[in-house]
Amino acid sequence: MKNKIRLGVNIDHAATLRQVRGGMTSYPNMQQIAELAIQGGAEQITIHLREDRRHIQEKDLRLLSDVCTVPLNLEMAAQWKMIQFARKYKPDWCCFVPEKREELTTEGGLNVKINQKKISQMTEKLQFIGIECSMFIDPNLEQVNASFEVGADAVEFHTGHWVLLKGVKKQAEWKRLCKAAELAHSLGMGVHAGHGLDFEATKLITKLPYLEEVNIGHSLICYSLELGLKAATKKMKTILR
């Protein structure tokens, strides 16, 4: 029987619209945005508290940790300051992601192996207070094994490169994704995926072995300009079924 795939909706880019004017407006309201996504079928709300605060702010994390009626997934850099925020607000999940100030969006997966000792310590501190941890990684077997070694509950595969590739290169990347997913599952970790997933790519990613969860943001916020966020989320949820 095919796994039921959870839909996490990343609302970062709704906050981007607010911050474009320096955060001087009270709209869009992140609680209302989250509620619309949930009404459309979101089973998780995902936010990324970046070092440069280009979209989500600490006040958003504080608000959503109090009022969100589905699990809250906090994406964050592997920094001790971020661990302090996570321990203070206690989201349900923390996803460790790479982060560079100059990038427009996350360009690739986290190198867990090179930071294994530090990430292991961070993971332990979060899990001790009941927060589950995932690692946002490229579909690389070495990184899957490193994620297991640090005690990750799940890995989330960066699908952005696969989405953009064509032909033989796309097929090769798909094979990498499948092998990495199979290894993660065999090690007892959950298999998640995200980045660059629109309606068409999501139809294809549902075929990834053992996939349990996708986190989708940019495309849904864009679709919502025409469809509304509730309807766009509902359509994405239908594709996942």
- Hey, what CATH class is 6-240 in? alpha beta
- Of the pLDDT bands very low, low, confident and very high (cuts 50, 70, 90), residue 105 is low
For residue 102, pLDDT beyond 60: no
Instruction: Give the helix, strand, coil percentages of the chain, each rounded to 5.
Output: 50, 15, 35
Q: In this predicted model, what pLDDT tens digit does every residue of 31-60 receive, in sequence order?
A: 999 999 999 999 999 999 999 999 999 999
Please report the pLDDT score of residue 93 as a whole number.
98
Q: In this predicted model, what pLDDT tens digit does every residue of 68-87 receive, in sequence order?
A: 999 999 999 999 999 999 99
Please report the pLDDT score of residue 197 as a whole number.
98
d(CA 46, CA 71) in angstroms, rounded, equals: 9
**Mean pLDDT of all residues in 178-203:** 98
Rounded to an integer, what is the distance from CA 73 to the centroid of its chain? 7
Q: DSSP of 158-211, one letter per residue? A: E-HHHHH--HHHHHHHHHHHHHHHHHHHHTT-EEEEESS--HHHHHHHTTSTTE
Residues with a known catalytic role: 48, 75, 195
Please report the pLDDT score of residue 108 as a whole number.
85
Q: In this predicted model, what pLDDT tens digit does every residue of 112-133 receive, in sequence order?
A: 999 999 999 999 999 999 999 9
**CB proximity list for 78: less than 8 A, separation 6 or greater:** 96, 110, 115, 118, 119, 122
Residue 58: name the closest of 47, 45, 72, 68 by CA.
47
pTM above 0.75, yes or no: yes
- Of the pLDDT bands very low, low, confident and very high (cuts 50, 70, 90), residue 1 is very low
- Of the pLDDT bands very low, low, confident and very high (cuts 50, 70, 90), residue 2 is low
Q: Which two tokens stand for residue 87?
A: 């321990």
Tell me the pLDDT of the chain averaged across its residues. Answer: 95
d(CA 121, CA 46) in angstroms, rounded, equals: 23
Provide the residue ranges of all domains of the chain, joining segments of one domain with +. 6-240
**Mean pLDDT of all residues in 237-241:** 95
For residue 141, pLDDT beyond 60: yes
Please report the pLDDT score of residue 106 as a whole number.
60
C-alpha dihedral sign at 92, 208, 201, 176: positive
- Of the pLDDT bands very low, low, confident and very high (cuts 50, 70, 90), residue 100 is low
Instruction: Estimate the crossing angle of helix 30-39 against helix 58-67, to 10 degrees.
Output: 40
Q: Which two tokens stand for residue 183?
A: 């290894």
